[in-house]
Amino acid sequence: MATDRGGSGPGPGSTGLLFLLSFCVLLAGLCGGNSVERKIYIPLNKTAPCVRLLNATHQIGCQSSISGDTGVIHVVEKMEDLQWVLTDGPNPPYMVLLEGNLFTVYSSSYGSEFAHCRGVTWNPEGNGLAYEDFSFPIFLIKNENETKVIKQCYHDHNLSQNGSAPTFPLCAMQLFSHMHAVVSTATCMRRSSIQSSFSINPEIVCDPLSDYNVWSMLKPINTSGTLEPDDRVVIAATRLDSRSFFWNVAPGAESAVASFVTQLAAAEALQKAPDVNTLPRNVMFAFFQGETFDYIGSSRMVYDMEKGKFPVPLENIASFVELGQVALRTSLELWMHTDPMSQKNESVRTEVEELLATLERSGADVPDVVLRRLSESQALPPSSLQRFLRARNISGVVLADHSGSFHNKYYESIYDTAENINVVYPEWLSPEEDLNLVTDTAKALANVATVLGRALYELAGGTNFTHTVQADPQTVTRLLYGFLIRANNSWFQSILRHDLRSYLGDSPLQHYIAVSSPTNTTYVVQYALANLTGTVMNLTREQCQDPSKVPSENKDLYEYSWVQGPLNSNKTDRLPRCVRSTARLSRALSPAFELSQWSSTEYSTWTESRWKDIRARIFLIASKELEFLTLMVGFGILAFSLIVTYCVNAKADILFIAPREPGSVSY
Ligand SMILES: *[C@@H]1O[C@H](CO)[C@@H](O)[C@H](O)[C@H]1NC(C)=O
Ligand SMILES: *[C@@H]1O[C@H](CO)[C@@H](O)[C@H](O)[C@H]1NC(C)=O
Ligand SMILES: *[C@@H]1O[C@H](CO)[C@@H](O)[C@H](O)[C@H]1NC(C)=O
Ligand SMILES: *[C@@H]1O[C@H](CO)[C@@H](O)[C@H](O)[C@H]1NC(C)=O
Ligand SMILES: *[C@@H]1O[C@H](CO)[C@@H](O)[C@H](O)[C@H]1NC(C)=O
Ligand SMILES: *[C@@H]1O[C@H](CO)[C@@H](O)[C@H](O)[C@H]1NC(C)=O
Ligand SMILES: *[C@@H]1O[C@H](CO)[C@@H](O)[C@H](O)[C@H]1NC(C)=O
Ligand SMILES: *[C@@H]1O[C@H](CO)[C@@H](O)[C@H](O)[C@H]1NC(C)=O
Ligand SMILES: *[C@@H]1O[C@H](CO)[C@@H](O)[C@H](O)[C@H]1NC(C)=O
Ligand SMILES: *[C@@H]1O[C@H](CO)[C@@H](O)[C@H](O)[C@H]1NC(C)=O
Ligand SMILES: *[C@@H]1O[C@H](CO)[C@@H](O)[C@H](O)[C@H]1NC(C)=O
Ligand SMILES: CC(=O)N[C@H]1CO[C@H](CO)[C@@H](O)[C@@H]1O
């Protein structure tokens, strides 16, 4: 009965009041705590963590403890400062703020075990640091102003001048980057898959690195079927991705961007040849994702080709031309690397010979490029061609700016930026002027693109218009600007679909293959390829989105996209249009995950750990003594309040008197 419940006895009533009181205190504590937190913590907003990646057998990268790692800040500007951190300092643990040039300090003894291959050390500057496992967090502070804030805090609250005992409070930093996955891909994928078969709400701890390859054909092919055995295809390939020690920081200017930009320019030049549609052989342009992590993209494409899941079967490949790193030619030379193993077969050897001769012919009339052969016994540099050679003996060549070790000092590092390949602009120009300014690097790469375009033309059987194949330095410079300086420029905006416009930020694009895909780079490369090789169709928006209703159009042969188009003359609206091309995406997820072989040694097994929270903040900490005192006082207050509560509770029937209703039900 309602009245019965309403008239509760004195006992329960007083407990209710007490509950409410303690609830109020708790709430006040929470709110107060928040504002205190805001006062004492300064969050660092522009950081990039080093995160954990796993392969079949190892884990690499960094992590913090689950509640974040805290330490007193020490700024290390020279080697001697490290002494303090490692041995002398009286307040360990320390958080070290290390200048970029000292970042290799801990690793000078590690060998370059990753990028070497049968005798040639391709990357002698590399120290394998990015493939080590660290049990502490490492963050990159991307913004100079935030570094200044930290340094200021350190300078204001560090040791006394004569190096004696430090005076509290000290400036401390806390880094959170706890990783869920441990040990290896085999372990974390097994854990995730057990979870997902038994739990409705599975807790996934790691995800495979995956994205999409971009590919297109010079002449359209039916993507719903497969090619006839006598349809020969020449493949032009390059990679789309790079990496660095830090998560999602991968400028990759020389290791990826310069090469795929060159290939895009070559694709444009070749498409303009007057007789493309009558060439005896077809040309396929492939841009592989995830090559940095044991060739995810190319191994998947080879796998699909073998399984008949790709319209071009492996047997139809006539030859293979790959662009390695090409932006740092110290002289005019462009080196042609070939594979010595496959050439043990006499017929392959002849084909490779023809391939090299074709390239030399194509380069003959191009200024500033001299093609050079290497000793026949030298192994291939790291390249996608190796994945194809594993499956089948094909004739292939890798073009690169180096004969032996890389010219790129900053291979797969945060310093592989526009400056590394000398793409710099005068300060006084506007973004629009920068976009169209033809840099020397762009001219040099356009020459390489011309060589590539002409070679592909001849390899496809063309003879009559070799000299009309000419790459446009303007295209190269715009692409370099867009990928290395500012993605959000007028050209990239005009070639993308409306719903993809947020993929263009004001900063350079990063080329780390992610776990959520397609990434910014993948989309932009696809649409740039569509713009450079496709045609604008006179179709309405509805027709463009569903071309099956238009009798002359065919979705098996072409890809259609409704792009934003350029701004109109009064710069208020865009002039959207339908672009028809053969630029498509194909999955770049390692076959190891397709086959659930998580400890595969054949395919890439790289996964990225999941995490809950990544952040960094600085604050002042008091001395241990003061902390202890505060804690003790806190305990004192707690004990006191417990005693008071107990007394009040015990004497509640005296303190809180309420009239007892006759016949009320007690609880
Ligand atoms: C980060 O952003 C917060 C809020 O905007 C600001 O209070 C704080 O000062 C920033 N951190 C640094 C180091 O500038
Ligand atoms: C996994 O990565 C580690 C560190 O780079 C390497 O030593 C190891 O050989 C890799 N394992 C496989 C199966 O590729
Ligand atoms: C650093 O601060 C100055 C002055 O507040 C500002 O002009 C500059 O753009 C900032 N630099 C960066 C990299 O944010
Ligand atoms: C040097 O250290 C002593 C304590 O050992 C301290 O009293 C003094 O102020 C310090 N001098 C300076 C210049 O910091
Ligand atoms: C493409 O191939 C599929 C399957 O073989 C076929 O049904 C379709 O008609 C073909 N399309 C064209 C344009 O040839
Ligand atoms: C050489 O390669 C061709 C084509 O890949 C193959 O048909 C032929 O059998 C090979 N010859 C030898 C001796 O392996
Ligand atoms: C090149 O031109 C000649 C004469 O115009 C023509 O007979 C030949 O078929 C052309 N070659 C190709 C591959 O188009
Ligand atoms: C990439 O795309 C995302 C999602 O649209 C966007 O938030 C981010 O700023 C882009 N990154 C860059 C470097 O442009
Ligand atoms: C490519 O972009 C340029 C510049 O926005 C434009 O003039 C051209 O029509 C585009 N081409 C295609 C095929 O979309
Ligand atoms: C585009 O198509 C419309 C109707 O389909 C037609 O009226 C117009 O003339 C066409 N424009 C061009 C440039 O072909
Ligand atoms: C801009 O130009 C379009 C036609 O191109 C016109 O419809 C529109 O009214 C113009 N807007 C302004 C603000 O002038
Ligand atoms: C408060 C204090 O002692 N600050 C010193 C911190 O260290 C720098 C140099 O490392 C000195 O210049 C500051 O005076």
Q: Which residues of 439-458 are buried (b: 16+ CB within 10 A; e: fewer)?
A: bebbebbbbbbbbbbbbbbb
CA of 306 to the centre of ligand 5 (A): 21
pLDDT band at 350 (very low <50, low <70, confident <90, very high): very high
Q: Is the pLDDT at 634 greater than 90, yes or no?
A: no
Tell me which residue has tokens 């072409």: 558
- Can you give the pLDDT at residue 202? 80
Summarize pLDDT for 302-336 with one digit per residue, the tens: 999 999 999 999 999 999 999 999 988 888 889 99
The percent of residues in the chain predicted with pLDDT above 70, rounded, is 86
Residue 633 vs residue 139, higher pLDDT: 139
DSSP three-state, residue 393: coil
Backbone angles phi, psi at 133, to 5 degrees: -105, 125
Mean pLDDT of 263-271: 97
Helices 473-484 and 440-459 sit at what angle, rounded to 10 degrees?
120
Closest CA to ligand 12's atom 10:
155
Residue 123 vs residue 351, higher pLDDT: 351
Cα gap 606→132, rounded to integer Å: 14
For the chain, give the mean pLDDT.
84
- Three-point CA angle 558, 477, 576, nearest 5°: 40
Summarize pLDDT for 404-419 with one digit per residue, the tens: 888 888 888 888 999 9
124 CB near ligand 9 (under 6 Å): no
User: Would you state the structure tokens that stand for residue 57, as one six-digit string?
Assistant: 């057998």
Who's near 99: CB < 8 A, 6+ residues apart?
76, 77
Atom from ligand 5 closest to the CA of residue 222 = 1
Which ligand neighbours the alpha carbon of 575 most closely? 11
CA of 143 to the centre of ligand 3 (A): 8
- Can you give the pLDDT at residue 6? 34
Summarize pLDDT for 568-585 with one digit per residue, the tens: 888 889 999 999 999 999
Cis peptide before 169 (omega within 30 of 0): yes
Summarize pLDDT for 467-497 with one digit per residue, the tens: 999 999 999 999 999 999 999 999 999 999 9
413 CB near ligand 9 (under 6 Å): no
Summarize pLDDT for 505-561 with one digit per residue, the tens: 999 999 999 888 899 999 999 999 999 999 999 999 999 999 988 888 999 999 999
Summarize pLDDT for 86-118 with one digit per residue, the tens: 777 777 677 888 877 766 564 333 223 323 334
Q: What is the total residue count of the chain?
A: 667
pLDDT band at 275 (very low <50, low <70, confident <90, very high): very high
In DSSP terms, which residues pair with 117 in a beta bridge? 120
User: Would you state the structure tokens that stand for residue 489, as one six-digit string?
Assistant: 């420029």
Cis peptide before 93 (omega within 30 of 0): yes
Written as one letter, the residue type at 620 is L
502 CB near ligand 11 (under 6 Å): no
Summarize pLDDT for 584-625 with one digit per residue, the tens: 999 999 999 999 999 999 999 999 999 988 999 988 877 666
CA of 160 to the centre of ligand 9 (A): 64
pTM (2 decimals)?
0.85
Q: Which domains does the chain have, with CATH numbers?
A: 38-103+121-179+615-625 (no CATH), 210-534+582-589 (3.40.630)
- Can you give the pLDDT at residue 33? 38
Residue in 129, 146, 148 with CA at minimum distance from that of residue 50: 129
Q: Is the pLDDT at 177 greater than 60, yes or no?
A: yes
The percent of residues in the chain predicted with pLDDT above 90, rounded, is 55
Atom from ligand 12 closest to the CA of residue 159 = 3
Mean pLDDT of 186-195: 88
Instruction: Give the strands of the sheet with 206-208, arranged side by side.
Output: 59-60, 53-54, 607-609, 206-208
393 CB near ligand 6 (under 6 Å): yes
- Can you give the pLDDT at residue 17? 38
Q: Is 399 left (phi over 0), alpha (psi -120 to 50) or beta?
A: beta
Closest CA to ligand 9's atom 11:
531
Mean pLDDT of 647-652: 82
Q: Are strands 535-537 and 396-400 parallel, antiparallel or unpaired?
A: unpaired
- Can you give the pLDDT at residue 36? 46
Atom from ligand 8 closest to the CA of residue 506 = 14
